[in-house]
Amino acid sequence: MKRRLWHIARLLLVFLAMNLIWYLLYLLLHHPILPSPGPVYRAMFELEGRDVALNVGYSLLRIFEGVVLALVIGLLIGLLMGRSPFWNRVLDPVVYLTYPIPKIALLPVVMLFFGLGETSKVLMITLILLFQIIISVRDGIKAIPESTYDVLTSIGATTAQKFWNVTLPGALSVILSTIRISLGTAISVLFFTEIYGTEHGMGFFIMDAWLRLDYSEMYAGILLFSFVGFVLFLLVDLLDHRFMKWRK
Amino acid sequence: MSSLESNGLQIKELQVAYHNGRQVLGNLNLVLPEFGIYTVIGPSGSGKSTLLRAIAGLLPGYGGKLHFNGKPLRDKNTRIGLVPQNYGLLPWKTVHDNIDIALKIARAGEGGKEARETQIAKWLTAMGIAGLAGRYPLSLSGGQQQRVAIARAFAIRPEILLLDEPFSALDAMTREGLQRLFLGNWQEQPATALFVTHDVEEAILLGQRIVVMPAGKTDAAEAPEILDNSAVFGLNYEDKRDSAAYTEQSRRIRRIMQEKWQ
């Protein structure tokens, strides 16, 4: 308990220090492109609640859809590669060759194929997460010792029962750490995709404020975007805490 | 109905080979009467673990016949309680949930949650680990984990109980306590049991009969030596070690080991 309080206190301290640096920069620069923290926070609290909720909601929905899609496909392919040496041999070179392609470079291709709408935004997030999830699921499943299945096999467990009770929980820790790492990239890419073809989302909100030269609101949007990212990280931590209790 | 002759676990001409064609078990014949407990000792490579894995249904292919009370084991209609050397607990499930999932799978469609809870509580108490129900395996000692594994094996009320060197990783004190606990519980709820060990002492302390496996040499399909151990088995656990029968049995096994395992 005491350690948790200390942890929160330290986070708050860092947050305050960052604001202080920001304020000092503002004093040094003394230019409208960098407003002081005060007006930015005021602008943030003056934002219309419904408007903010709509933009944040759209961004979260896209992230959620992208992550779920990547998880479903990644889990299936990773499972196939982890459990079957044949499919691992077939798919390994494919993953190996496509993994280093910077997925953001595929943005125009995705836009060409899937238009400027929701599909291409969600697909970009999926693309970024997918390969890392495939690789970590495969490695996570391979790392489960074969003997872990023995007792369940001997009492006649079905393939589905073995999947839910051994394979999935065994691979979960790597899946969670992969999501934690690639979530940051996914959020950045989301920003790019929200610049075009939409009137909702955090990326749109920030760029719109920028176009209107409303710098306080622009910074307020950036802060809000960062906050959403922070909450998502906390969520992954929470999942980690809930499902990884067994790892002492 | 099965005749008296086909009662228990029948192993006929069991043959197991590795992928590279090397035989691990060649033509093993063994009959284990229902509710009997046999210990199996053998040097490493003699195929004693392979024998257990074949009975447990963990080997994709083997030659020969494995029957229990007339039914082939391949049909998966025989309930098997397995206690592996590494305990075989799922680290992401609590002690309680480890037993629960085994019950759910092995006794699917029998009794509800309440019946399972009663069974779990009963066996955790019997193994002296009622207080550990909510703990995760990785936070337990080896001895505690093995108690959980044994509780799980008994809880599904198996027809065949298979133990693969269950106590070999434990220190002497813990091992002795668990041997006694295991034997006591087996007497409460007897199952046809095969107990693999590399410890001569343990083989004499726990088995009605002792199966001494021949050293695994590629060509020789030697039959295992089966020793009657009823003289020791009938004694109280505490008295076994000091008995003349124990000393005699120990001498016999060592002689066989010298002849066969050289």
What is the spatial distance between Cα A61 and Cα A67, in angstroms, rounded to a whole number?
10
How far off is chain B from A204, nearest CA to CA, in Å?
Answer: 42
Q: Judge whether residue A212 has pLDDT over 80.
A: yes
Please report the sign of the dihedral spanned by the C-alpha atoms of residue A137, residue A142, residue A143, residue A148: positive
Q: Is B101 on the interface with A (CB under 8 A)?
A: yes
Are B90 and A247 an interchain contact pair (Cβ–Cβ within 8 Å)? no
How far off is chain A from B66, nearest CA to CA, in Å?
Answer: 14
How many Cα atoms occupy the beta-carbon half-sphere of B204 within 13 Å?
Answer: 21
Under a CB-based contact definition with an 8 Å cutoff, are residues A193 and A106 in contact? no
What is the spatial distance between Cα B211 and Cα B194, in angstroms, rounded to a whole number?
10
Q: Is B57 on the interface with A (CB under 8 A)?
A: yes
Are B84 and A151 an interchain contact pair (Cβ–Cβ within 8 Å)? yes
Q: What ipTM does this complex have? A: 0.88
Are A246 and B138 an interchain contact pair (Cβ–Cβ within 8 Å)? yes
Mean pLDDT, rounded, of chain B: 89
Q: Give per-residue pLDDT as tens, A135-151.
A: 999 999 998 988 899 99
pLDDT for position A103: 84
Contact list, A155 vs chain B (CB under 8 Å) = 79-82, 102, 105-106, 156
What is the spatial distance between Cα A66 and Cα B82, in angstroms, rounded to a whole number?
43
Are B105 and A166 an interchain contact pair (Cβ–Cβ within 8 Å)? no
* Residue from B66, B73, B95, B105 to probe the interface with A (highest A Cβ count within 10 Å): B105
Interface contacts A/B by beta carbons within 8 Å: 65
pLDDT for position A248: 66
- List the structure tokens of A169: 């929980």
Percent of chain A clearing pLDDT 90 (strictly above): 45
Q: Give per-residue pLDDT as tens, B145-173.
A: 999 999 999 999 999 999 999 998 888 88
Q: Which residue of A has its CA nearest to B95?
A: A246
pLDDT for position B221: 60
Q: Which of B79, B88, B94 sits opposite A151 (nearest CB)?
A: B88
Q: How many residues does chain A have?
A: 248
Q: Judge whether residue A79 has pLDDT over 60.
A: yes
- List the structure tokens of A63: 């992230």
Q: Is B135 on the interface with A (CB under 8 A)?
A: no
Q: Please state the domain extents for chain A.
A: 1-30, 35-247
* Residue from A155, A163, A244 to probe the interface with B (highest B Cβ count within 10 Å): A155
Superfamily of domain A35-247: MetI-like (1.10.3720.10)
| Secondary structure E strands in A94-232 | none
Compute the average pLDDT of residues B20-27.
78
Identify the band that residue B75 occupies on the pLDDT scale cut at 50, 70 and 90: confident
Task: Name the least confident of A112-116, B48-52, B64-68, B212-216.
Answer: B212-216
